[in-house]
Amino acid sequence: MEAAAGFPGVIALPDGFRPEGIAVGGGHSFYAGSIPTGAIFKGDLRTGAGAQLVPPTPGRAAIGLSVDHPERLFVAGGGTGQAYVYDGKTGATLATYTLANPPDMFVNDVVVTTDAAWFTDSFRAVLYRVPVARSGALATQADVETVPLTGDFVQQAGFNINGIDATPNGNTLIVVQSGTGKLFAVDPATGVTTLIVLADGESVLFGDGILLDGKTLYVVQNRLNLIARVDLSANLASGVVVSRTGAPTFDVPTTVAEFGNRLYAVNARFGPPPTPTTMYWITQIPKP
């Protein structure tokens, strides 16, 4: 299926890959991570071609992904409690951090701002901050901070904070709480959360990956096979769900990235029992 000349509407990932995260890098490159193996696949949005960048590594996992510049890939390590930084060109491991110790934790998603990489934990009411110096120097383990979430956010049973994004200046983080469908703005300096009030009592239940594009927030509602578009107020205090978009090739999309006027969602396919021959792919849709 072709959605635009030279840019395939569906991009195949390796059979048995079991993806969750996606990030767009320099040029028209993209990265996708394997949940159980920690492997990273790097591909080309224009051609759909790609290859393994980081091999499967025992004891590692890859959930949410975020890219900074120069081309470095920050990876949330799920139930390992770890975070990883890879060279986006060579796949070399640049840093490994321990953010939390099992059990009762799940390092789910990450966004890189002007001065830090921020990681969510779906089982704990905290964010993890890994400083990134303006020079580009990476932090040491001793620099890792745990920031408690306070304010309007209330921890619930089950999955809580999942996807995360940030304003361009890094002064505000936005997170989604999967189990309630609530959105929160977070002050990174204090961890204080403020509920983003959605009009008409709306929510984004099963919210997973999110993408902030100006004052438009895209929220992947994974089990619903939809991407919600939320138009936010200038002060990020409120929002309106203006549309929900599906696609025939959605099969539990989890995270989303953008390239120009297109969105790319990776399909985790949590329904079928995973096998070495289970097919996985990325779906492209026009921005709603």
Give pLDDT, residue 95.
97
Give pLDDT, residue 22.
98
Measure the CA–CA gap between 171 and 19, rounded to whole angstroms.
Answer: 30
Measure the CA–CA gap between 80 and 113, rounded to whole angstroms.
Answer: 23
Measure the CA–CA gap between 69 and 125, rounded to whole angstroms.
Answer: 29
Q: Is 223 helix (H, G, I), strand (E, B) or coil?
A: helix
Q: Is 81 helix (H, G, I), strand (E, B) or coil?
A: coil
Domains and CATH numbers, the chain: 2-286 (2.120.10.30)
Q: Residue 286 pairs with which residues in a beta bridge?
A: 262
CA atoms 86, 87, 92, 95: torsion sign: negative
Give pLDDT, residue 272.
87
Give pLDDT, residue 53.
98
Q: What is the pLDDT along the chain (288 residues), one digit of tens a residue?
A: 334 457 999 999 999 999 999 999 999 999 999 999 999 999 999 999 999 999 999 999 999 999 998 899 999 999 999 999 999 999 999 999 999 998 999 999 999 999 999 999 999 999 999 999 877 789 999 999 999 999 999 999 999 999 999 999 999 999 999 999 999 999 999 999 999 999 999 999 999 999 999 999 999 999 999 999 999 999 999 999 999 999 999 999 999 999 999 999 999 999 989 999 999 999 999 999
Q: What is the CA radius of gyration of the chain?
A: 17
Give pLDDT, residue 5.
55
